[in-house]
């Protein structure tokens, strides 16, 4: 996994609440057996009409947001299906951080596995960042994971919380499986004990 470096990029405003993973990547794109190539279908039904033409007023179709790297979204972003195709599509598009007041649990975890940073901030902070995002490509937002801050193009900074272990993995681009396999002796001894205690499992 790529390391999460300090990010200075264009942020796009997506103020809708409850953006679900069906919206992020509709089911017809789950038929792939690969992880790559989903960016073109990110937000497909909001982004294209039935003929496949771009819908002009969808934010990511506007010229100033085509290079978006940060999304500022409404409450409960990523609810619904567990499909990891949602972060795969975001990542493939080029989005590296999503900011909201809240995220659905599975989507939140899936982001970290793919080098995407989901940032939870209070409503007032998200409101300010949403306004900043509306400035488009004239403005750059800064996400600094090391310092745990998001800074608007005007220099206003907000601190966010992040799980220390997840932060460590993201900063260093660490693979979870490799880390867990370092604890294989603990897994072995757990299995031995559990097979005594609950042999029916």
What does the per-residue mask of binding to other proteins show for 65-94, with x meaning CB under 8 A? ---------xxx--xxxxxx--x-------
Buried b (16+ CB within 10 A) or exposed e, 78-112: bbbbebbbbbbbbbbbebbbbbbbbbbebbbbbbb
What does the per-residue mask of binding to other proteins show for 17-36, with x meaning CB under 8 A? xx-x-xx--xxx-xxxxxx-
Which residues pair with residue 147 across a beta bridge?
none
Nearer to other proteins, 155 or 177 (CB): 177
What does the per-residue mask of binding to other proteins show for 46-65, with x meaning CB under 8 A? ----x---------------
Beta carbon of residue 44, minimum distance to other proteins (angstroms, whole number): 9
Q: Is 177 in the site for other proteins (CB under 8 A)?
A: yes
Which of 95, 98, 104, 150 binds other proteins (CB under 8 A)? It is 104
Beta carbon of residue 166, minimum distance to other proteins (angstroms, whole number): 9
Nearer to other proteins, 9 or 78 (CB): 78
Residue given tokens 């460590």 in the structure block: 168
Q: Which window, 13-21, 51-59, 89-97, 149-157, contacts other proteins (CB under 8 A)? A: 13-21
Q: What is the DSSP code string of the chain? A: ------EEEEEEEE--SS-BHHHHS-GGGTT-SSSSS-GGGTTHHHHB-TTS-B-TTSGGGSGGGTTEEEEEE-SSBTBS---THHHHHHHHHT--EEEES-B-HHHHHHHHTTT-EEEE--HHHHHHHHHHHTTGGG--EEEETTTTEEE-TT--EEE----HHHHHHHHHT--HHHHHHTTHHHHHHHHHHHHHH-TT-
Q: Is 106 in the site for other proteins (CB under 8 A)?
A: yes
Q: Which window, 5-13, 91-99, 154-162, 181-189, contacts other proteins (CB under 8 A)? A: 181-189
Residues 132-171 within binding reach of other proteins (CB under 8 A): 163-165
Beta carbon of residue 187, minimum distance to other proteins (angstroms, whole number): 6
Beta carbon of residue 155, minimum distance to other proteins (angstroms, whole number): 27
Q: Give Cα 194 distance to the centre of its chain.
A: 36
Q: Is 115 in the site for other proteins (CB under 8 A)?
A: no
Beta carbon of residue 188, minimum distance to other proteins (angstroms, whole number): 10
């Amino acid at each position: 996994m790529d390391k999460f470096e300090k990010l200075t990029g264009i942020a796009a405003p997506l103020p809708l609440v409850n953006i679900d993973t069906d919206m992020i990547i509709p089911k017809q794109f789950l038929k792939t057996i690969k992880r790559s190539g989903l960016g073109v279908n990110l937000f497909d039904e909001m982004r294209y009409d039935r003929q496949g033409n771009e819908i002009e007023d969808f934010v990511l179709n506007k010229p100033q947001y085509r290079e978006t790297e940060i999304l500022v979204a409404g409450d409960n972003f990523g609810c619904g299906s567990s499909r990891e195709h949602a972060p795969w599509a975001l990542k493939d598009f080029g989005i590296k951080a999503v900011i909201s007041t809240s995220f659905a649990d599975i989507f939140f975890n899936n982001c970290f596995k793919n080098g995407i940073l989901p940032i939870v901030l209070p409503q007032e902070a998200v409101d300010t960042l949403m306004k900043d995002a509306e400035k488009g490509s004239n403005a750059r937002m800064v996400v600094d994971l090391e310092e745990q801050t998001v800074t608007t193009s005007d220099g206003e900074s907000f601190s966010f919380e992040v799980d220390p272990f997840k932060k460590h993995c993201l900063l260093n681009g660490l693979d979870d499986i490799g880390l867990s396999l370092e604890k294989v002796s603990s897994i072995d001894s757990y299995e031995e004990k559990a097979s005594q205690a609950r042999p029916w499992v």
